Structure 1
Amino acid sequence: MSLSSFNPPRVLVVEDNAAFLDNLRELLGDAGYLVSGANSCREAHERVQDGFDVALVDLRLPDGDGTELARELKEKVPECEVVLLTGFATLETAVAAVRAGACAYLMKPCAPNELLLTLEQTMRQVRLQAEKRELARRAQVTEKLAAVGTLTASLSHVIRNPLNAAALQLAVLERRVRRLSAEQQPALLDPLLLVRDEIRRLDHALEDFLQFARPRSFRPEPVEVVALLRRVVDFLGSQAEARRVRLELEGEESLPPLKGEEERLRQVLINLTLNALEATPEEGLVRLSAQREEDMVRLCVDDTGAGVPPELRTRVFEPFFTTKEAGSGLGLSIVHSVVSQHGGSLEVTSSPFGGARFLLRLPLVD
């Protein structure tokens, strides 16, 4: 469960004492935690699907043992941490708690400051583990990018030259076919144009590889945010109309400029918006929006499509990963690379409109 400074930490409290559960809800809620409660093992298992970062689990529950529940919760949500609560602490229960994967053990009733300190330390552990997973994921992506660079050195010559030659000969052949009578042309032009389109598709896939392999210097300049979004909406307006999808823009005209390369950022937004248009059914909506967030600008591309399943959200930016039959799996990787070079971040979440939201955060001009 990834954490960010914009998401309140989530705590699941499993406690059969209703009064104590209410007290914990109020105390933790006031401290900035998002609290959900359960009064039994069965209800705790039902709450797992809602997601949580830390579970506070009573040792004695009406339908089971808190130690066993802690082990089950850790198995279902390995990235979470569990704190056990008990009014009858013994050496045996403490050892059992450690074996079950609990990171802390508190006596009831516990002082509010002790509880909050324990939770703060536990959340620090959760964040640390999340950072380790992210570093491991980035290392894996880096290895894949290195493989792309090595592969591209030979692809550039071995594939591009024959593609160019084939495209040239097809262009010559097309001109000759068009000189024939109108009756003869269709039978010859249809397969010719099909081959031409396939060669273009191969050329675009190769260009994706080349973009990864060619390091480009970064020359940032002030970029007007709303003007940038407006150009993207104007450019893709006809495609949205052809798909019968509403394409909207929402942004504050008074936003200060962001720091970046306008052409590359425009391509990033075009890529994300095209993906949103493809994912959105007829009569649906795609919206581009911008708002300030301290020293960053927050750009969102929302749609009313099917969304991105949670289990795929950490993978969509990996090189070669794609859910499209004809995709190279590099489009979103390139987008992520460009955003990272701008000192920003990119993530995919659920849209308030029901589909996917691609959320970019980019630094404003100092």
Structure 2
Amino acid sequence: MSEPTPKPPPTILVVDDNAAFLDNLNELLGDAGYAVRGASSCRAARACAREGFDVALVDLRLPDGDGTALAAELKEGAPDSEVVLLTGFATLETAVAAVRAGACAYLMKPCAPQELLLTLEQAMRQVRLHGEKRELARRAQMTEKLAAVGTMTAGLSHEIRNPLNAAALQLSVLERRVRKLPDPQQGPLLEPLLLVRDEIRRLDHILEDFLQFARPREFRPGSVDVPALLRRVVDLLSGQAEARKVALEKGPLDESLPPVVGEEERLRQVLINLCLNALEATPAGRKVTVSAGQEGERVWLTVDDEGPGIPQDVRDRIFEPFFTTKAQGSGLGLSIVHAIVTQHGGTLEVGSAPGGGARFILRLPVSR
């Protein structure tokens, strides 16, 4: 299994009808580590912008429209991106128009390579700030939902758990009595009884999710052996994988991986949850692969499935409390997993597996 795919380079959209200028910028920016897409008209720029970009370099004079108007349009369509206007004829009016269009910078053509690269780095800094603000807003929203869960927890614990336990106890007594009956009489009675028992267990699991999410345990970090952790999880879930007719496999595993900082029990919970989701999403006859490796001061772990994958719009919300695409469940499973990983000083991302299914990438700091 290959290592997690690194993040793609920043994308620069260059809009200019001068073919030689486009070629020069493509070479210069490519050597600087940017991915470059060129467009020679407003129409072509709009088509390229739909694929996404980080910074757009837009010439003021284009054959089918005004660059200032295009800049405003691009900025409106991608508010987290930035626009830099280029012109060979600078005036006070064009500078004012650039500001009004939402451009973060204004460059004269021809501009020195260092000046252009510095401007792009400043623009990328703004792009990263937009991303950080969005992430902070997302975390604030999750915190609000967590507070709401905490308020509900005390009442749920008393009002639901106690009668649920009483019902489970009486159901167990009833099941023992039914199993003492002759075999022909047991079948019609056991079927609805076992269905009720499974539903009580499901409710108990949902309640446990609420309790765990609202009242996380105190973090007591130690050193966790990653290869041993993966083997233990695969062994624990081998029976469930076999029942689903799905292969649960370990990818290439370096036994010399350094230990990570964390609690073995809670990291096992994280991997079990991710693997169970992967097994559920994978059709019979296919496989789920768990792998691990090292990049710098972090150890990465991946869980890859061969299911239908996760759409991009769902990926943006998948760790939100109460968000779920399943017909049943609390929508807290992945939120709990994400909270545990964050408490460990790690990160959790979702992407696409090499086989087209979903890939969850967990990164944890190495224990020193």
TM-score category of the 2 structures, normalised to the smaller one:
over 0.9
**Counterpart residue number, 1:123:** 124
**Counterpart residue number, 1:299:** 301
1:73-112 correspondence runs (5 A): 73-112=74-113
1:317-336 correspondence runs (5 A): 317-336=319-338
**Counterpart residue number, 2:59:** 58
**Counterpart residue number, 1:259:** 261
1:4-19 correspondence runs (5 A): 6-19=7-20
CA distance in structure 1 between the aligned counterparts of 2:285 and 2:75, rounded to whole angstroms: 43
- 1:92-143 deviation per Cα after TM superposition (whole angstroms, max 9, x unaligned): 2222222221111111111101101100111111111111111111111011
1:361 correspondence with 2:363: yes
What amino acid sits opposite 2:203 in the alignment?
L
Q: Equivalent of 2:316, from 308, 314, 317?
A: 314
Q: Could you list the runs of 5+ residues in structure 2 that have no partner in the other structure?
A: 1-5
- How many angstroms does 1:6 deviate by? 4.4
CA distance in structure 1 between the aligned counterparts of 2:108 and 2:102, rounded to whole angstroms: 17
- How many angstroms does 1:7 deviate by? 4.1
**Counterpart residue number, 1:239:** 240
- How many angstroms does 1:22 deviate by? 1.2
What amino acid sits opposite 1:312 in the alignment?
V
- How many angstroms does 1:32 deviate by? 1.4
- How many angstroms does 1:243 deviate by? 2.6
Cα gap change, 1:15 to 1:350, in 2 (>3 Å): farther
Moved over 3 A (4+): none
CA distance in structure 2 between the aligned counterparts of 1:247 and 1:72, rounded to whole angstroms: 49
Number of residues of Structure 1 aligned to a counterpart in Structure 2: 363
Cα gap change, 1:240 to 1:127, in 2 (>3 Å): same
- 1:234-292 deviation per Cα after TM superposition (whole angstroms, max 9, x unaligned): 22223223333332212222111111111110110111111112122233332211111
CA distance in structure 2 between the aligned counterparts of 1:302 and 1:76, rounded to whole angstroms: 33
1:177 correspondence with 2:178: yes
Cα gap change, 1:329 to 1:36, in 2 (>3 Å): same
- How many angstroms does 1:70 deviate by? 1.6
CA distance in structure 1 between the aligned counterparts of 2:75 and 2:354, rounded to whole angstroms: 30
1:332-351 correspondence runs (5 A): 332-351=334-353
Pick which of 234-243 and 151-160 moved more. 234-243
- 1:169-212 deviation per Cα after TM superposition (whole angstroms, max 9, x unaligned): 11111111122222222221111111111111000000001102
What amino acid sits opposite 2:108 in the alignment?
M
Cα gap change, 1:281 to 1:48, in 2 (>3 Å): farther
**Counterpart residue number, 2:3:** none
Cα gap change, 1:33 to 1:170, in 2 (>3 Å): same
Q: Equivalent of 1:270, from 269, 272, 279?
A: 272
- 1:205-236 deviation per Cα after TM superposition (whole angstroms, max 9, x unaligned): 00001102323121222111112112112222
What amino acid sits opposite 2:274 in the alignment?
L
What amino acid sits opposite 2:308 in the alignment?
A
CA distance in structure 2 between the aligned counterparts of 1:50 and 1:281, rounded to whole angstroms: 31
Q: Could you list the runs of 5+ residues in structure 1 that have no partner in the other structure?
A: none
Pick which of 255-264 and 208-217 moved more. 208-217
- How many angstroms does 1:312 deviate by? 2.1
What amino acid sits opposite 2:340 in the alignment?
V
Q: 3-state SS of the aligned residue for 1:283?
A: coil
Q: 3-state SS of the aligned residue for 2:184?
A: coil
CA distance in structure 2 between the aligned counterparts of 1:88 and 1:280, rounded to whole angstroms: 59
**Counterpart residue number, 1:200:** 201
CA distance in structure 1 between the aligned counterparts of 2:15 and 2:245, rounded to whole angstroms: 48
**Counterpart residue number, 1:279:** 281
CA distance in structure 2 between the aligned counterparts of 1:13 and 1:230, rounded to whole angstroms: 49
Pick which of 326-335 and 221-230 moved more. 221-230
Query: Percent same amino acid at aligned positions?
Result: 75
Pick which of 92-101 and 142-151 moved more. 92-101
